[in-house]
């Protein structure tokens, strides 16, 4: 009796294996189509997301450009209305460069009416 029971289980397992193999043969083409469809949907979603990111980056750049243009306009207007503005900007930039160690040496050139006096320190013989 033991042998017959073992053959029954073996037969059942064989039958189950044949049924599963047949089901796989039947369902495999449908699975391939389904998986290709899912891959296509995933690729489409990725493309849409990438496009949306690019659009948002472009919007950000446009807004940034508009703000920079507005700032330049304000600075230009201030420079026209207040001539000392440029001097203050220069002094501020110069001080910052000094603090950061970007200036190694300062050479003083005496000027008169913003024209360098090249003969400074020399006296004429007539004096």
Taking the CA atoms of 10, 15, 16 and 18 in sequence, report the sign of the dihedral they define: positive
Strand partners of residue 112: 115
Q: Per-residue pLDDT averaged across 95-102, rounded?
A: 91
3-state secondary structure 20-40: HHHHHHHHHHHHHHHHHHHHH
In whole angstroms, give the CA distance from residue 117 to residue 60.
51
> 40 is in which domain, residue-wise?
2-102
Query: What pLDDT, on a 0 to 100 scale, did the predictor assign at position 1?
Result: 44
- CA 123 vs CA 31, 111, 126: distances in Å: 101, 16, 8
pLDDT (tens digit per residue) in 53-82: 999 999 999 999 999 999 999 988 988 888
32 located within any domain = yes
- pTM of the full predicted structure? 0.43
89 located within any domain = yes
55 located within any domain = yes
Q: Per-residue pLDDT averaged across 26-36, rounded?
A: 78
111 located within any domain = no
Domain total in the chain: 1
Cβ neighbours of residue 116 closer than 8 Å, sequence gap 6 or more: 109, 110
74 located within any domain = yes
Predicted confidence band at 120 (pLDDT cuts at 50, 70, 90)?
A: low
Query: What pLDDT, on a 0 to 100 scale, did the predictor assign at position 80?
Result: 87
57 located within any domain = yes
């Amino acid at each position: 009796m033991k042998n017959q029971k073992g053959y029954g289980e073996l037969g059942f397992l064989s039958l189950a294996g044949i049924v599963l193999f047949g089901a796989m043969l039947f369902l495999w083409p449908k699975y391939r189509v389904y998986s290709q469809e899912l891959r296509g949907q995933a690729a489409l979603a990725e493309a849409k997301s990438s496009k949306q990111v690019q659009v948002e980056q472009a919007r950000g750049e446009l807004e940034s450009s508009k703000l920079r243009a507005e700032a330049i306009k304000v600075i230009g207007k201030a420079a026209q209305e207040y001539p000392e503005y440029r001097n203050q900007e220069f002094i501020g930039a110069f001080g910052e460069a000094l603090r950061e160690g970007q200036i190694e040496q300062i050479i003083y050139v005496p000027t008169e009416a913003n024209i360098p006096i090249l003969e400074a320190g020399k006296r004429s013989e007539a004096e």
